[in-house]
């Protein structure tokens, strides 16, 4: 019969390909993961960049006791930016993701921007325990110059400000704690990557942006966008680049500098730090805009605290207010722009935008 011939042919084919059936049964679930790329080896026997990433990840997992795929663990690194002996380091990101399961899609791999000549480093933080490790790679790529662990959660370190020294965790401390904050949005951490650290300045950028979005919401996604005229330029501006795509190249960001006398005069007049900037919702179709000149007051911190502790406390207090930015942000002036010439009058070279708006005299 026809079916008997089909069965016979199947048996013959299976006999010619031994192990085929077993292979289907024995393939582990992880076999669908991408295979490792061909990895270059540095000269003089120096380990591959991939292996450095693997070693960093395995060291952290061993010291901190977490398993692959733990969403409570943050991986921090500037991998991809440093260059060691002519070798780029982006493959370290692949290694860290492969070993730990941390990745940008889960929001627990933060890739900090840095200069190409800066040392390559890795940090890991468990927000449940507060445990962290930090590693810095030797300049020649032959191993780690620093491998240290500590408990760096805000509750622990701020309870012993006098007795605790951030040491090698000075840079990592605020990033890890703000990442662990329940109100920190994903896009804020992208701003942190771009700015390369967490400080009250970039956290104020989040509050300013939320304040503007509440009062001047984008109603026409095709034609409307935000333009920023920063007076004075500071850390906050790097957040707008990520949150609003307000880049200088696309004419979304302009920055100017105020003297100390000008800044003091503004504070005396308005009672807040009034040089936070001018924010415009611009409509490219009608060539009109609505704007806000904003001020901000930073939260007070414990008297006598060292700088690292005061800044950490400020960051946490400000992130607590992410949903109520008016706690710290205030409107200095509202205005409208009737045409493109009025916009250019604020953006042109040699003009003082705060004087054009009448916020400052002169």
| Record: fold of 197-362 | 60s Ribosomal Protein L30; Chain: A; (3.30.1330)
For 230-274, what is each residue's pLDDT tens digit?
A: 999 999 999 999 999 999 999 999 999 999 999 999 999 999 888
The arithmetic mean of pLDDT across residues 280-284, rounded, is 98
State how far the Cα of 252 lies from the Cα of 278, in Å rounded to an integer.
12
CA distances from 230 to 21, 236, 346, 356 (A): 66, 9, 11, 14
The arithmetic mean of pLDDT across residues 137-162, rounded, is 96
Please, which pLDDT band fits residue 72 given cuts at 50, 70 and 90?
Answer: very high
Residue 26 has pLDDT above 80, yes or no: no
State how far the Cα of 252 lies from the Cα of 229, in Å rounded to an integer.
8
Residue 3 has pLDDT above 80, yes or no: no
Please, which pLDDT band fits residue 130 given cuts at 50, 70 and 90?
Answer: very high
- For the chain, the structural domain boundaries read 43-180, 197-362
Between 47-51, 162-166, 185-189, 331-335, the lowest mean confidence (pLDDT) is in 47-51
pLDDT at 274: 84
Same fold, 43-180 and 197-362: yes
pLDDT at 350: 87
State how far the Cα of 310 lies from the Cα of 132, in Å rounded to an integer.
21
**Contacts of 207 by beta carbon, 8 Å cutoff, 6+ apart:** 296, 318, 321, 322, 325, 327, 328, 329
Q: What global pTM score does this model have?
A: 0.86
CB of 296 within 8 A of CB of 204? yes
Strand-pair partners of 335? 291
CATH of segment(s) 43-180: 3.30.1330.20
For 210-230, what is each residue's pLDDT tens digit?
A: 999 999 999 999 999 999 999
Q: Which two tokens stand for residue 27?
A: 């393939």
Between 18-22, 96-100, 144-148, 201-205, the lowest mean confidence (pLDDT) is in 18-22
For 154-199, what is each residue's pLDDT tens digit?
A: 999 999 999 999 999 999 999 999 999 999 999 999 999 999 999 9
Q: For the chain, what is the mean pLDDT?
A: 89
pLDDT at 32: 33
For the chain, the straight-line distance linking the first and the last C-alpha, in angstroms and rounded, comes to 103
pLDDT at 47: 58
CB of 153 within 8 A of CB of 127? yes
pLDDT at 362: 73
Please, which pLDDT band fits residue 110 given cuts at 50, 70 and 90?
Answer: very high
CB of 202 within 8 A of CB of 237? no
């Amino acid at each position: 019969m026809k079916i008997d011939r089909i069965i016979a042919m199947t048996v013959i084919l299976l006999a010619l390909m031994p192990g085929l059936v077993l292979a289907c049964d024995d393939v582990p679930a992880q076999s669908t993961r991408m295979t490792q790329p061909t990895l270059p080896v540095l000269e003089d026997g120096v380990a591959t960049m991939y292996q450095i990433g693997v070693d960093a990840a395995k060291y952290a997992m061993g010291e901190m006791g977490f398993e692959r795929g733990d969403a409570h663990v943050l991986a921090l690194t500037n991998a991809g930016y440093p260059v060691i002996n002519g070798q780029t380091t982006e493959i370290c990101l692949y290694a860290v993701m492969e070993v730990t399961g941390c990745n940008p899609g889960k929001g627990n791999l933060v890739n900090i921007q840095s200069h190409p000549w800066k040392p390559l480093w890795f940090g890991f933080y468990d927000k449940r325990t507060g445990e962290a490790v930090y590693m810095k790679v030797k300049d020649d790529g032959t191993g780690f110059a620093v491998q240290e662990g500590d408990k760096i959660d805000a509750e622990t370190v701020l309870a012993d400000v006098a007795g605790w020294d951030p040491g090698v965790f000075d840079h990592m401390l605020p990033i890890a704690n703000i990442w662990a904050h329940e109100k920190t949005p994903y896009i804020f951490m992208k701003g942190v990557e771009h700015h390369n650290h967490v400080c009250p300045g970039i956290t104020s950028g989040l509050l300013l942006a939320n304040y503007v979005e509440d009062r001047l919401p984008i109603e026409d996604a095709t034609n409307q966008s935000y333009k920023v005229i920063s007076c004075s330029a500071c850390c906050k501006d790097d957040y707008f680049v990520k949150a609003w795509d307000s880049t200088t190249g696309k004419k979304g960001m302009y920055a100017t500098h105020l003297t100390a006398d000008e800044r003091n005069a503004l504070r005396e007049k308005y009672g807040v730090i009034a040089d936070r900037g001018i924010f415009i919702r611009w409509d490219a179709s009608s060539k009109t805009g609505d704007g806000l000149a904003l001020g901000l007051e930073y939260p007070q911190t414990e008297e006598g605290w060292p700088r690292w502790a005061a800044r950490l406390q400020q960051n946490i207090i400000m992130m607590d207010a992410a949903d109520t930015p008016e706690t710290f942000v205030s409107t200095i002036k509202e205005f409208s722009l009737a045409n493109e010439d009025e916009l250019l009058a604020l953006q042109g070279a040699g003009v003082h935008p705060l004087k054009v708006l009448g916020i400052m005299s002169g």
